[in-house]
Structure 1
Amino acid sequence: MIQYDRPRRLFAIALAAMAGFIDAVGFLSADGYFVSFMSGNSTRLGVSLGTDPARAAMPAVLIAGFLGGVTGGALLSRWAGTLRKPVVLAFVALMLLAAACGRMLGLPVLLLGGMVVAMGALNNTFQRGGEVSVGLTYMTGALVKLGQGLANALAGQPNSGWTSWASLWGGLLAGAVLGAFLQDRLPMGCLWLAAAYCAGMVAIAFRLPSDVSLGES
C-alpha cells in the first residue's frame, strides 16, 4: 500500500469501500455469514464441524466460491497483462450484476454466488511479482501494519506509512456502514448501485495501467 503513488492508494481505498459495502450486504443477506471475510467463515465452518456438521455446508460453499473467484480472477489477470485492473474489475462488475439479478429473481444461490465470486476476484486488482500486494476484502493485515506503524510513531521513529493502512481500513468500514444502511432501506437496489459503482471503477482503472516502475506485475 505505502509503496504505491497517491492515485493508486486512493483507488485501493475506494475499492476497499466497495468490498465493505458488499460484505455488509452479504452478511445481512446470509444469516451472518460473509462473502469476503473468509477467516470468519472458516471459524464458523470449524465450529459447525465440531458441534453440528449439518450446518457446515453454508460456510464451506462460500469458502469454495471465494476460492473460485480468486482463481478465476488470477487467470484473468494473467491473460489481461497490463490491463489487469480494468479486466478484473469488469469481471467483478458482471458478478455483482448477477447477484443483483439473483435478488430480483428470488434466487439466493445466484445472489450469494455472485457476491462471493466477485469478492474473491477483487483481490487480484493489486499485485507485485504475481502476488497480491493489497488485500482489498480483508483487513487483519492492514490493522497489524497500522499497529506496528503506531508503535514506530510512539517510539519516535520515522513515519512508516501507517496513515495509509488506517485509510484503507477506514474505507472498508465506511463502505460497510453504507452497505448496511442501504440493505436495510433499499434492499432491491443496493446491489445495482454496487455494480454501477464498480463499473465506474473500471473506467478509472483504464487511467491507472500497470507500471513496471512501481513493481507491479
Structure 2
Amino acid sequence: MPLDLAHPAAFGAALTAIAGFLDVVAYVTFSHLYVSFMSGNSIHLGMSLATLRVSDIAAISGVVAAFVFGAAAGTLLQDHAGPRLLPLALGIEAGLLLIAAAASSVTHSTLCLLPVAMAMGLQNVLHQMSGKTSVGKGFVSGALVRLGQSIARLRSREPDPSGTATLFVGWMAFVAGAAGGALLIAPLGLVACLLLAAGVLVALLIADFLCY
C-alpha cells in the first residue's frame, strides 16, 4: 500500500541520498564494503571465495546477512504497521545508525557496519511512498533500466514525463549522496558521518510529523 506523504518525491530523494552517502562512507572506511549496494558486496564475496580470504568472506557475509535481516524486519513493519510505517521505519533506521556510531567510537571493526546494513535493508522494503515514487533504494542499475524504459515511452500514447523526472532525480540524489560521503568522510570521520545521516533521518521524521 503506498505511503501517504505530503512531499513523496522529496522524501524519496533524501532517503536515496542517504543510501549513497552511507555506501561511500562504508566503502572508504572498511575495505570497499557497501551497506546498501549488495551487488557490489556479492562481487567482492565471490572474489574472496576464489582466493579463500577468510576474514573478507566473514566480513562481507556478515554485512549481507544484516541487510537481509533488515529487509525481513522491514517486511514485518510493512505488513503490520499500516499508516505508522514511515515514522516507525525512520525511527528504527535512525536508532540503528546511532548504535553504529556508538560502536564505531569504541572499536574500528566491520561489526560497526552491521546496524547500518540492517537499516539499509529495512529502507529498501519501503517500495513506494506514492504511486510512482521509489524510496531510497540501492538498486541503481534497476532504476536506470526503468529510466531508459520511461524515456523510450515518452513518445507513446501514454507518456509519463513526471515518472521519468522522478527516476532521474532519484539517480542524481544517489550520486549526490555518494559525492557528499566522499567529501565528508576524511574531514569528519566515520562517527560524525553516521551521526549526520541519523540527524537527517530524524529531520525527515519531524518533517513528516509536522505535515499532518
What TM-score, normalized by structure 2, do the two folds share?
0.85
Q: Which residue of the partner structure matches residue 25 of structure 2?
A: 25
Counterparts of 2:58 and 2:91, CA distance in 1: 30
Counterpart of 1:202 (choices 202, 205, 211) is 205
Residue 83 of structure 1 deviates from its aligned partner by 0.7
Residue 189 of structure 1 deviates from its aligned partner by 1.5
Q: Within the alignment, does 1:148 sit opposite 2:187 as a pair? A: no
Q: Which residue of the partner structure matches residue 101 of structure 1?
A: 102
Counterparts of 2:76 and 2:67, CA distance in 1: 14
* Change in 2 beyond 3 A, CA 1:98/1:88: same
Counterpart of 1:189 (choices 178, 187, 192) is 192
Counterparts of 1:6 and 1:164, CA distance in 2: 16
Residue 168 of structure 1 deviates from its aligned partner by 0.3
Residue 29 of structure 1 deviates from its aligned partner by 1.4
Letter of the 1:189 partner, please give it.
A
Q: Which structure 2 residues correspond to residues 84-95 of structure 1 after superposition, within 5 A?
A: 84-95=85-96
* Change in 2 beyond 3 A, CA 1:201/1:6: closer
What TM-score, normalized by structure 1, do the two folds share?
0.83
Q: Which residue of the partner structure matches residue 137 of structure 1?
A: 138
Letter of the 1:21 partner, please give it.
F
* Change in 2 beyond 3 A, CA 1:10/1:33: same
Letter of the 1:194 partner, please give it.
A
Preserved contact between residue 13 and residue 136 of structure 2 (Cα < 8 Å): no
Q: What is the root-mean-square deviation in Å for CA atoms of aligned residues? A: 2.5
Q: Which structure 2 residues correspond to residues 67-82 of structure 1 after superposition, within 5 A?
A: 67-82=68-83
* 3-state SS of 2:115 partner: helix
Preserved contact between residue 49 and residue 56 of structure 1 (Cα < 8 Å): yes
Residue 67 of structure 1 deviates from its aligned partner by 0.4
Q: Percent identity?
A: 36
Q: Within the alignment, does 1:115 sit opposite 2:116 as a pair? A: yes
Q: Provide structure 1 residue ranges, at least 5 long, that are not aligned to the other structure.
A: 210-217
Counterparts of 1:118 and 1:64, CA distance in 2: 12
Residue 76 of structure 1 deviates from its aligned partner by 2.8
Q: Structure 1 segments of 4 or more deviating over 4 A? A: 132-135
Counterparts of 1:59 and 1:51, CA distance in 2: 14
Counterparts of 2:39 and 2:19, CA distance in 1: 15
Q: Which residue of the partner structure matches residue 124 of structure 1?
A: 125
* 3-state SS of 2:184 partner: helix
Residue 6 of structure 1 deviates from its aligned partner by 7.5
- Which deviates the most, 8-17 or 51-60? 51-60
- CA deviations 1:39-59 (Å, max 9, x no partner) are 111111122222325232222
Count matched residues: 202
Residue 145 of structure 1 deviates from its aligned partner by 1.0
Preserved contact between residue 95 and residue 115 of structure 1 (Cα < 8 Å): yes
- CA deviations 1:90-115 (Å, max 9, x no partner) are 00000110111122112424421121
Residue 178 of structure 1 deviates from its aligned partner by 0.7
* 3-state SS of 2:137 partner: coil
Counterparts of 2:211 and 2:72, CA distance in 1: 23
Residue 15 of structure 1 deviates from its aligned partner by 0.7
Counterparts of 2:195 and 2:67, CA distance in 1: 20
